[in-house]
Structure 1
Amino acid sequence: MHCSDCCRALQSTPELALESALQAGIDDYLGYLEATRRASRHTLAAYRRDLALLSTCLAQAGIDTAQGIDAAAIRQSVAALHRRGLGSRSLQRFLSACRGLFNHLVSNGTLRVNPALGVAAPKGPRTLPATLDVDQPARLLDAEPQSSESLRDGAIMELFYSSGLRLSELCRLDLPELDLDGALVTVTGKGNRTRTIPLGAQAAQALRRWLQARGLCARAAHHAAVFISRRGTRISVRAVQKRLEQQGRARGLSQRLHPHMLRHSFASHLLESSGDLRAVQEMLGHANLSTTQIYTHLDFQHLAKVYDAAHPRATRRRGGADD
């Protein structure tokens, strides 16, 4: 069940949530995220939805002030959302929003302790991110562009696969953040953290070709965005998603191509070649190494395939002989 469906299901008595005195604290926290932390509008929208769910759950439990919230109330909220179909990842994000809100309320003196710190989401099945095989990116990236739009799409795909950018980072990228001569790109990621990442030679070449075509668009003259739409405005997240889907279909990919698949492929292929988990962490912009470690599982899957295909005992085991 989608988060919004759960929200509608819970709001059978909407007047409780709407009258909640906790809303002032939520509004203040969201304002802080936008103004001080420079959170993206997608992060803000997700946190707003999650905190609306929190407010509704608490209101239905008869709690309408921050001071009335304890760990038991948070656990009950998580349990209620879980019963209504929210998965593990959605509940983890919900708890992340709750912890952020309560940390904010502790820092401004509204609360003494964060009631969500000891609460964990139910563990779901571990799903590994989808990646391309090592030979598949060439099918996507070596095609000759036929238009300025396909030049842009090619540069976008090269940048995702060359440097592992997040979708939001790519869409926010401005011209001064590209250093094509130095083969570097500087991005601002989650938590307003800035990192500088190497650019591959083919990505730099694709970007040069796109920027030359971009310069012919009169509407782009006063826009700092690297990637623009046909109207000359900064390209949107949804537009990038749709264009990549179209490019994947046009190149005959069996799976749906999306930005995170290219980011995951960058990480998996780089780790497979280098074995340097710390370097991959830095380039992906992960605050914690544990987030990056999922790619070691992907690498293990590859090693297991190699073993099964090449090791003599694995071969004998498949053949049924065992001596």
Structure 2
Amino acid sequence: MQQHIKAYLDYLSHQKLYSEHTVSSYQRCLNRFQDYCQRYQLDNYSMILGQQIRMFVAEQNRQGKSATSIAQSLSAVRQFFDYLVAHKLAKSNPAKGIRAPKKPKRLPKNIDVDSLTQFLDRIPTDEPLQQRDKAIMELFYSSGIRLSELVGIDLPDMDLANQELRVLGKGNKQRQVPIGTAAIEAIKVWLKARSLLLKDPQELALFLNKNGKRLSQRGIQMRLTHWGKVLGLNDKLHPHKLRHSCATHVLESSSDLRAVQELLGHVSIATTQVYTHLDFQHLAKTYDAAHPRAHKKATAKKQNPESLKATKEKNKK
């Protein structure tokens, strides 16, 4: 199994073009499953049936693993067996039809428009690395792209004249996303400074580190955390927060869920629908603040008890 897991991870990396982070997650899940099989002496794929998969899920549940973690492990095992069946290494997939514990629905966190606008406007642009960081954050917020998609951007992927960007998303799928004017201006400033860091003329990466190489995912995460602390942002700043903020603010303004789905590159509309909960929260707050009769019950509760008693007596008469 160890040999097949290694071959499968290579397949994810080189043929499916999954990100390094995703492949590492699959590796952890499959190593956990391999340990389970060794402990129960499941030495042949024919010995692994649906019952064994259910026991694997139940064991993780007893160990206190979260529903999300268990679901990830089960998904990794299911896809691993799909790979084995396709390569005639296993006859069937025992993980098909096995359900993981229900995951709690968590709403994405976002930053409100005013706070985020003020934050982006306060980023200094006196030095090349500052100009790069501002361009990165403006692009995240403008387009809602994923961290892995931003890291993979090359110069030919941009069409600044038409304010469009081509990105390579999950499952090796390309899509076009719009770029806002603020992001365009920040990128233009960065492109002038990029040549100062460039050491290899063949390097096409849009965003470079101080050594002139493609900026890594970890490097971007660290820079966002840095600016969040320096500029006094209350919550920890990370790429997904900017992506969520982009999606939420577009939905609040347009109410076009399909457009947000295309923007984010979600395969299923169900994935995008989590933002409707945030949109409803925004609607509820607006309603409470604006509707003339929204506070009727609250006002009644605040009345003097003696006054309420007198009103009741009057109504009886």
1:127 & 1:218 partners in 2: Cα distance?
A: 42
After superposition, give the CA deviation of every residue in 1:28-79 in whole Å (9 maximum; x if it has no partner).
2112212211122211111111100011112222212222111221121112
Match of 2:220 among 232, 240, 245: 240
Counterpart of 1:253? 233
The verdict on how the C-alpha distance between 1:220 and 1:299 changes in structure 2, with shifts beyond 3 A counting, is: farther
Corresponding position: 1:227 with 2:204: no
**Is the 8 Å Cα contact of residues 198 and 208 (structure 2) preserved in structure 1?**
no
Counterpart of 1:44? 23
Q: Which moved more, 1:149-158 or 1:220-229?
A: 220-229
After superposition, give the CA deviation of every residue in 1:119-165 in whole Å (9 maximum; x if it has no partner).
12212332211100121221122124121111111100011000011
2:200 & 2:207 partners in 1: Cα distance?
A: 10
Counterpart of 1:190? 170
The verdict on how the C-alpha distance between 1:163 and 1:228 changes in structure 2, with shifts beyond 3 A counting, is: same
Please give the residue correspondences for 1:1-323 in structure 2 after superposition, counting only pairs within 5 Å: 22-143=1-122, 144-219=124-199, 221-320=201-300
Task: Quote how far apart the aligned CAs of 1:187 are.
Answer: 0.8
Task: Quote how far apart the aligned CAs of 1:23 are.
Answer: 2.0
Counterpart of 1:17? none
Q: Under a length normalisation based on structure 1, what TM-score does the superposition of the two structures give?
A: 0.89
1:242 & 1:317 partners in 2: Cα distance?
A: 48
1:282 & 1:23 partners in 2: Cα distance?
A: 38
2:46 & 2:263 partners in 1: Cα distance?
A: 41
Any unmatched runs of 5+ in structure 2? 304-310, 312-317
Counterpart of 1:4? none
2:269 & 2:50 partners in 1: Cα distance?
A: 28
Task: Quote how far apart the aligned CAs of 1:221 are.
Answer: 3.1
Aligned residue for 1:85, secondary structure, equals: coil
Structure of greater Rg: 2
Aligned residue for 1:287, secondary structure, equals: coil
1:318 & 1:55 partners in 2: Cα distance?
A: 58
- Percent of counterpart pairs with the same letter? 46
Two-structure CA RMSD over aligned residues (Å): 1.7
4+ residue runs over 4 A deviation? none
Task: Quote how far apart the aligned CAs of 1:220 are.
Answer: 5.2
**Is the 8 Å Cα contact of residues 220 and 228 (structure 1) preserved in structure 2?**
no
2:176 & 2:276 partners in 1: Cα distance?
A: 23
Residues matched between the structures, number: 302
Any unmatched runs of 5+ in structure 1? 1-21
Letter in 2 for 1:95: L
Q: Under a length normalisation based on structure 2, what TM-score does the superposition of the two structures give?
A: 0.90
**Is the 8 Å Cα contact of residues 133 and 223 (structure 2) preserved in structure 1?**
yes
Letter in 1 for 2:226: Q
Task: Quote how far apart the aligned CAs of 1:218 are.
Answer: 4.1
